[in-house]
């Protein structure tokens, strides 16, 4: 059974529930109380994102250590992800015979522009 909680309950969720939520996929309830079924694209994207969701579920809830533990672990995981992206960019640049500076600038441009593009698309819909 899917557990729904209010924003005030978000402070009280357990650390283990973060892992359950990261792996769980289920229908959502829209504004009018109707149930929206899962599309094939949503299911595919969910299964592709599970490793990332589980990685970031390792960050403890903010109530532990006054939020400092979560802050430090989030910074460490952002550093790890940044290192992985940098290594992938280097390998990609070598594979297609581009200078590292061109590859870095291109990936930074994509990384900063794509979230804005998707947000604009959702706002337009």
Task: Tell me the backbone φ, ψ of residue 36, rounded to 5 degrees.
Answer: -95, 120
Q: What's the domain range around 53?
A: 1-58
* Model pLDDT for residues 35-85, shown as the tens digit of each residue: 878 889 988 998 999 998 898 899 988 888 888 999 999 999 989 888 888
Band of residue 11 on the pLDDT scale cut at 50, 70, 90 = low
Residue ranges in 10-67 assigned as alpha helix (H): 15-23, 40-57
The average pLDDT across 86-115 equals: 82
Both 6 and 52 in one domain: the answer is yes
End-to-end CA distance of the chain: 31
Q: How many domains does the chain divide into?
A: 2
pTM over 0.85: no
Both 71 and 119 in one domain: the answer is yes
């Amino acid at each position: 059974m899917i557990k729904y909680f209010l924003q005030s309950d978000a402070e009280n969720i357990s650390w283990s529930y973060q892992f359950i939520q990261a792996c769980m996929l289920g229908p959502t309830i829209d504004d009018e109380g109707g149930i929206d079924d899962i599309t094939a694209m949503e299911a595919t994207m969910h299964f592709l994102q599970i490793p990332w969701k589980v990685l970031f579920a390792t960050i403890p809830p903010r109530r532990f250590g006054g939020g400092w533990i979560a802050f430090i672990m989030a910074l460490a995981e952002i550093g790890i992800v940044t290192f992985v992206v940098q290594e992938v960019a280097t390998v990609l640049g070598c594979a297609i015979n581009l200078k590292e500076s061109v590859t870095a600038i291109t990936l930074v441009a994509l990384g900063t522009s794509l979230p804005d593009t998707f947000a604009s698309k959702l706002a337009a819909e």
